[in-house]
Amino acid sequence: MKQLTARGARTRQKLLEAAERIFAELGYHDASIVKITEAAGVGQGTFYLYFESKKQVFDELVLDLNTRVRHAMTEAADGGTTRAERELLGFGAFFRFTAEHPALYRIIRQAEFVSPESLQLHYERLTEGYVTGLRQAMDAGEIAEGDPEVLAWSLMGIGELVGMRWILWNGSTEMPEPVFDELARILVRALGAKDLDP
Amino acid sequence: MKQLTARGARTRQKLLEAAERIFAELGYHDASIVKITEAAGVGQGTFYLYFESKKQVFDELVLDLNTRVRHAMTEAADGGTTRAERELLGFGAFFRFTAEHPALYRIIRQAEFVSPESLQLHYERLTEGYVTGLRQAMDAGEIAEGDPEVLAWSLMGIGELVGMRWILWNGSTEMPEPVFDELARILVRALGAKDLDP
DNA sequence: CGTAGACCTGAATCGGGTCTCAGGTTTGAG
DNA sequence: CTCAAACCTGAGACCCGATTCAGGTCTACG
């Protein structure tokens, strides 16, 4: 792959977006190159000008979604003052992202077999963000002391299943308020935080 | 499919076990009928005497694993006195089951696309068990009041990701003690329980 | 020991997948 | 306007999968 002109970059982007749509809709295996290129409105052969293989475009998608969801979460979290509030804002952003990009879940689940490295990378990058914030809050005495890594994975687990249950399965665009409120209470307790507000 | 003789039942069982092994190892799509029948030591055609399709044997496996893991969890939980202790014992059983049957995770993850109904059934059956126990404990004032369903899904999420991180990824046969201890603390807090012991 | 019914077999059918390649089209720098 | 580089195309080459079926083997019971 050489230097891309504006046209080339546009075509590549069209393919990437089509791949996200098709993978999310049909899953990795039923998502054929033919279907992806059709959805992108280009010929079959064009795919291989920009990607080495079906797996490579998949890996790139995982990385892309990972970056985007983390960005959305940290950006939202920045608006909070206490750690608990920041975590809750992060959850809110995660749920919104899930609603807008169900591809995140659907692609990640597939990654278990399609690309275990990508799966691992995704989760590890997500925890990294958590761990530093949690450790600081522990040192500051804001939340309960303990191993921040275990706590981080626990929080991710909560987000993952609650998001699956009330966003993905409901096909809903937002988390029902009573569920989110209950989640806030559970979160504050799990963190061992005094309260949401300082 | 008619009445099975002892021979037939044996062959069917061999196929089911081979399918569990192969699905867990290769994933649904790379697990061909040829590979499953080879692993079971029977001819290709034999498969279709006992199962209608590849998907049907997959669904049966999900159901089977679900029954077994829930049985292991409730049995272990029965040994506890407080709700928190019971939940923790349930987690322990879940991790042991995961270590012995990695197929559980690997097959469930695949189910997202292979058989969404089965995926949903699996998670819903797991929560059912949680919810009744949690509601009772809430009424008894043993744990914090709230919507038991949100709490149940949160707990499942914690188990799922912590199990993935420290059992599956480590290829370990048991949860490291420091991690389990930390998990116990998080759990007690999340439940809003007084303590592990009465 | 004969035989009905259960059990087993693997080649063949049919469908569909990834990736390559020889040749055509578009673009933009000079 | 010219033309080399970049871009695009879709028909195969090649491979592999689920499922069926016509015909063979086993076994329990009368």
> Is 60 exceeded by the pLDDT of residue B1?
no
- List chain B residues with CB under 8 Å of A156: 157, 161
Mark yes or no for CB contact B160/A162 under 8 Å: no
B182/B165 Cα distance (integer angstroms) = 14
Residues B176, B64, B69: CA angle, nearest 5 degrees = 25
Give B142-192 pLDDT, tens digit per residue: 999 999 999 999 999 999 999 999 999 999 999 999 999 999 999 999 999
Give B30-78 pLDDT, tens digit per residue: 999 999 999 999 999 999 999 999 999 999 999 999 999 999 999 999 9
- Its pTM surpasses 0.85: yes
B153/B196 Cα distance (integer angstroms) = 21
Kindly report the number of other CB atoms within 10 A of residue B9's CB atom: 11
SS3 of residue B104 by DSSP? helix
Contact A61, A19 (CB under 8 A): yes
Among B110, B104, B108, B44, smallest CA distance to A30 is for B110
Looking at chain B, which residue has its C-alpha nearest residue A155?
B158
- List chain B residues with CB under 8 Å of A30: 113
Q: Which two tokens stand for residue A152?
A: 């981080």
- List chain B residues with CB under 8 Å of A107: none
Looking at chain A, which residue has its C-alpha nearest residue B25?
A113
What is the residue type of B39? A
Nucleotide nearest to A5 (CA to C1'): D6
Contact A163, A172 (CB under 8 A): no
B185/B117 Cα distance (integer angstroms) = 34
* CA A34 / C1′ C20 distance in Å: 15
